[in-house]
């Protein structure tokens, strides 16, 4: 099922147009449904969380996104099609590492300064300082709003 957020779809279109204007651009292919099911099961088994439907819809559209220094994690570690020397982090791999230091946070992406997370304690999606994970820059009620705000700042 494709994402229904028109604003987010427009941002994805702007990103594609901008990248194409600087040369060839290949969008990451969608994540397969069996891989999405596997990701949901693994996230539940290891972290006890149900992943947001909007994140799963994003993966159905494209399995990860690199743009202007920001990355929104793929379902699993893959290479960026536009620069195969750059690995795109997978959701589970990143979160396994961070659970040791911030078990209340789920990481969905990051840029040079911030991380894009779900804070289970506050039940909010947040932009947090990458170094001081307790410093919240912005909070949102849902994953789509977090993604829209993060990408708009990069356009």
User: Residue ranges per domain, the chain?
Assistant: 6-154
Of 19-28, 65-74, 112-121, the least confident: 19-28
pLDDT tens figures, 24-33: 677 889 999 9
For the segment 73-81, the average pLDDT, to the nearest whole number, is 92
How many CB atoms within 10 Å of residue 139? 14
Calculate what percentage of the chain has a pLDDT beyond 70: 97
Highest CATH level, class, for 6-154: alpha beta
Please list, residue by residue across 24-58, b when 16 or more beta carbons sit within 10 angstroms of its beta carbon and e when fewer do: eeeebebbeeeebeebeebbeeebeeebbebbbbb
């Amino acid at each position: 099922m494709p994402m229904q957020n028109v604003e987010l779809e427009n941002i994805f279109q702007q990103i594609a147009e901008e990248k194409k204007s600087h040369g060839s651009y290949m969008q990451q292919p969608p994540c397969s449904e069996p891989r999405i099911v596997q990701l949901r099961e693994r996230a539940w088994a290891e972290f006890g969380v149900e992943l947001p439907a909007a994140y799963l819809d994003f993966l159905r559209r494209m399995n990860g996104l690199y743009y202007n220094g920001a990355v929104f994690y793929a379902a699993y570690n893959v290479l960026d099609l536009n620069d195969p020397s750059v690995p795109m982090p997978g959701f589970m791999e990143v979160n396994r590492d961070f659970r040791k230091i911030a078990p209340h946070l789920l990481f969905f992406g990051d840029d040079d300064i911030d991380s894009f997370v779900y804070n289970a304690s506050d039940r909010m999606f947040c932009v947090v300082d990458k170094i001081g994970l307790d410093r919240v820059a912005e909070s949102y009620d849902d994953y789509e709003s977090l993604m829209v705000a993060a990408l708009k700042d990069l356009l």
